[in-house]
Structure 1
């Protein structure tokens, strides 16, 4: 069995050189629509679309016989997680997909693992956290204490829902709760349908609970407790190949200044200057996450 490493953040189709390949696609960090970075000297976190691009390449290359989704992620944004999960399901309908939860496969990352043909988790990994969370911050009491006044001009009763500058009304809270309830119900159905679980049983094991890999096995959330090689062996078995070429694909770009192109450096410098001129860039009052 040959093992190769192919770090790639470009989105290029690099699945083209080997037959009987088991592709290891590494899902690391928070799942988001736009990805993230730590500035010129920081690291890089791929967007959901970059992972989807790697999965798409694996799906459409005849040399790739199976995929192992190696997961080290706590989850992330609702829509980004759903997009990634749908892509995993699409790939699994064409060729075997095995999910391997190494350290953590929770919330949206577990959602992405669910449509795999088989899920392997390390014994003491963290699995589950099936739920939805909405984070809101309120600063109005602090503003009152330090003498800051704010004025909001709006058209539409709920246009400033979630504003940190005033208390939330009961009506607004119910509106937001109805949104999270809908998303939670869809998450439950996704798990039940793809894992072949009873819907009531799925509700019981959900509720945002975190499990170790061994506990998740007992709860029916994973198929086996094991190590990475077990996931590779299972993928090979499902693909009916005996001596695969194992190739690792990492969507992360090289971290730090010396891993960046001149375009990246200019972008980061400009972005930093822009953030300094307008600190409200990307300010969010409501964030929904799996």
Structure 2
């Protein structure tokens, strides 16, 4: 009799898990809810800007740049939304992620007024992203700027030598092991990488100059990696106003000619908890099975680049 109860209990648990997976899959496909009515969309841009957040999909709790772009698309296409406020708390991030978000914000700003509100920090790639906004408002003691590019190359050949560890690299192609942690970088390699970084830096400077109505020479004076308070950023020409979120709403209202502003949250969300785990698990299982039957993935000749960030 006891075995029967155990079997029934296990069967019941499996049914519940199956229902959760099915419901979770439907939610993933259809989305969770609709944006409530409003005429000003607010999108929070928080944390490091990345294309692929760390962690596997079921346990992802970070928002990617692709999520922000999707939110901007929705706000752009919604006829009820007349203006967009970007509430920024980001130190920047990956080069490509920052550039993709910047291009999207520029695209949207040419169709609807976009006001960027720097609540705590908008530096590096985050500043690049909001530079095309129609107006930038920053809190007096927020942090703005840090216009520059960096590349981090980790090398531990000295430690390996002390530990008696040796690595033999067999390569075809002169620069195939550039940035190798197993040996010192040659002056020629360093010069080559510096050239790449300088090209990226000049593109950053030109982007800021173009979108902030500054000359390249004026931008270069403030684009030395230095950070500014919101107050000093105003004097440097990097923001338009020193103010609060309420000020940002008033500016958006004026730019969009809105009589009664109603702010609605368009920020993409990652739903956490057991229910989200089940729904995400369903997606991951389906994706994994599809990959298993659809192809055999072989990775070879891989180059692991150093970290390059804004």
Give the TM-score range, shorter chain: 0.7 to 0.9
Higher-Rg member (1/2)? 2
Name the counterpart of 2:37: 18
Q: Please report the TM-score for the alignment, with normalisation by the length of structure 2.
A: 0.80
1:219-246 Cα shifts (integer Å, max 9, x gaps):
0000001111111111111000021221
Alpha-carbon deviation of 1:258?
A: 3.3
Q: Please report the TM-score for the alignment, with normalisation by the length of structure 1.
A: 0.85
TM-align CA RMSD: 2.6
Select the structure that is richer in strand: 1
1:288 to 2:285 alignment: no
Aligned length: 268
The equivalences for 1:25-64 within 5 A come to 25-37=43-55, 44-64=61-81
The equivalences for 1:120-269 within 5 A come to 120-255=137-272, 257-258=273-274, 260-264=276-280
Contact in 2 for aligned 1:22/1:246 (Cα 8 Å): yes
Call closer, same or farther: CA 1:262–1:283 in 2, change over 3 Å. farther
Alpha-carbon deviation of 1:14?
A: 6.7
Give me the whole-angstrom Cα distance separating, in 1, the residues matched to 2:57 and 2:31. Answer: 24
Name the counterpart of 2:99: 82
Give me the whole-angstrom Cα distance separating, in 2, the residues matched to 1:154 and 1:191. Answer: 40
Give me the whole-angstrom Cα distance separating, in 2, the residues matched to 1:11 and 1:130. Answer: 40
Name the counterpart of 2:122: 105
Alpha-carbon deviation of 1:63?
A: 0.7
Provide the secondary structure at the position in 1 that maps to 2:82.
strand
List runs of 5+ in structure 2 lacking aligned partners.
Answer: 1-26, 289-301
Select the structure that is richer in helix: 2
Contact in 2 for aligned 1:137/1:285 (Cα 8 Å): no
Name the counterpart of 2:5: none
